[in-house]
Amino acid sequence: MIFVELDSGTSVEGMEIPAFKTDIKAEKYLYLMAGTHGDEVEGVYVLQKLFEWLKEEHSLREIPMVVVPVLNPDGYRNSTRVNSHAVDLNRNYPSENWTGEAKKEKYNPGPEALSEPENKFLVKLMDKFPPGLVLSFHSWKPLLNYNGDIEDVADYLASHNEYETVPDIGYPTPGSLGCFVPEKYQSGVLTFECPVLNDDNSLKGIWDENEEGLKSFIQSNLLLEKLK
């Protein structure tokens, strides 16, 4: 596929937030993103490998797509979940259930919804290139958390990697991308939780268990249906 680099965003510390788009116009786009939480290197790596394949494989049909490899570059550089304002970007979106209260410090939602420059940049992208489906790569435990009408997408990927599929993760996530995007853009969000690195998992191993499913999904008719 051919990608063009879009105007970059800027983090709290002034670091560049690169973003890329396939060289076609459409009404809805597939978003591939990672690094919302800077300490979740596994999800960043999986997207990195997928993006490399997308750029190198020229036989693929053109798909309207936006890629944000690392949304939180400050956190990624510092190995922290939060950005440099100590805000959890995945509790800072202006969803109907956003709240300024946090049960734990790591879930700090910020002083107000959409206060953070990283999220302002992503929302600006989505306003210009509306999402039809968002795959947001994280790492926690093998899990496919779907929001919106995309249970079939979660099931498709689970048929390859055998991850558990759930419509929620068992506790409220006010101000999360999974709450916000279905409300504003009527688009599904798949929070793709990779397993974390340990004695049994390597970055390569995590990619290997997801490579077939992700590549197959990119070429599937199911994806095209979600972007209509």
Which CATH code is given to the segment(s) 3-226? 3.40.630.10
The number of C-alpha atoms within 13 Å of 133 and in the hemisphere containing its C-beta is: 23
pLDDT given at position 86: 98
Per residue in 87-101, pLDDT (tens digit) is 999 999 999 999 999
pLDDT given at position 200: 85
Per residue in 136-195, pLDDT (tens digit) is 999 999 999 999 999 999 999 999 999 999 999 989 999 999 999 999 999 999 999 999
pLDDT given at position 5: 97
Per residue in 6-26, pLDDT (tens digit) is 999 999 999 999 999 999 999
Per residue in 61-87, pLDDT (tens digit) is 999 999 999 999 999 999 999 999 999
Per residue in 106-147, pLDDT (tens digit) is 999 999 999 999 999 999 999 999 999 999 999 999 999 999
* pLDDT band at residue 199 using 50, 70 and 90 as cut-offs: confident
Residues 86 and 97: their CA atoms lie apart, in Å, by: 21
Mean pLDDT of the chain, nearest integer = 97
Q: What's the pTM?
A: 0.97
pLDDT given at position 103: 82
